[in-house]
Amino acid sequence: MKKNFWIKFSVFMSLIAVVLAIDLVSKYFFYDKADSANAIAVIPYIINFKRLPDLNYGAAWGIMGGKQVFLIVLSFVFLAIFVVYYIKEKNKSWLMNITFAFLIAGCVGNLIDRLFLGGVRDFIQFAFWQSFPTFNFADVFLCVGVVLFIVYMTIFLVKANKKDKKENVEKSEGDKDDK
């Protein structure tokens, strides 16, 4: 295989490891070791780290609370989709590598919590919007990964559309030459 592929793949795997480590280490220090009574102002008036009294047994905003088996199966399904799409995609651009590293690591980070703890450790909250659900770095990486995937697909579709138009123009010019 090409050297460029192995460089991108190594960066891809390293990024998954780093993102997953950020998630798991932050959960350990800011959830497992934190005092639930006090919030830590990370960026005053904007972001707090605050340990909740209990795990999140649902998904975003606590939806599907208590449906851990379903959420675990869903996580495995999405993880499989991410991996299969990544493997089948021929153009492993840097944007694609970063996108899928974020999606895979974010999914695995929350999946580890669900499998070993029965729920997800959330500790990041908006200081200015405390009714917004508390979340963790895996959630952040998943959201960023989804946005990057939208950007990636937009770029891919625009390039494919330009290529199709160019081929159609060349074909129609070739047809004119034949007459």
Residue 75 near residue 104 (C-beta atoms within 8 A) = no
Domain boundaries, the chain: 3-171
Answer whether residue 71 shows pLDDT above 90: yes
Q: Tell me, yes or no, if 23 is annotated catalytic.
A: no
Catalytic residue among 113, 122, 177, 178: 122
Give the integer Cα–Cα distance in Å for 141 and 21.
12
Q: What is the pLDDT of residue 80?
A: 95
Answer whether residue 1 shows pLDDT above 60: no
Q: Which residues contact 141 (CB under 8 A, 6 or more apart)?
A: 19, 23, 102, 103, 105, 106, 109
Catalytic residue among 23, 139, 175, 177: 139
Query: Considering only CA atoms, which of 94, 81, 83 is closest in space to residue 9?
Result: 94
* Cβ burial 65-100 (10 Å sphere, 16+ → b, else e): eeebeebeebbeebeeebeeebeeeeebeeebbbbb
Q: Tell me which of 22 and 177 has the higher pLDDT.
A: 22
* Residues in a beta bridge with 43: 47
Q: What is the pLDDT of residue 178?
A: 59
Q: What is the pLDDT of residue 117?
A: 92
Q: Tell me, yes or no, if 177 is annotated catalytic.
A: no
Tens-digit pLDDT profile for residues 89-113: 887 788 999 999 999 999 999 999 9
Order of strands, sheet of 47-49, starting from the edge strand that comes earlier in the sequence: 40-43, 47-49, 124-126
3-state secondary structure of 40: strand
**Residue 17 CB neighbour total at 10 angstroms:** 12
Answer whether residue 73 shows pLDDT above 60: yes
Question: What rounded mean pLDDT belongs to the chain?
Answer: 87
Tens-digit pLDDT profile for residues 74-95: 999 999 999 999 888 887 788 9
Q: What is the pLDDT of residue 37?
A: 72
3-state secondary structure of 163: helix
Q: What is the pLDDT of residue 53?
A: 79
Q: For the whole model, what pTM was predicted?
A: 0.83
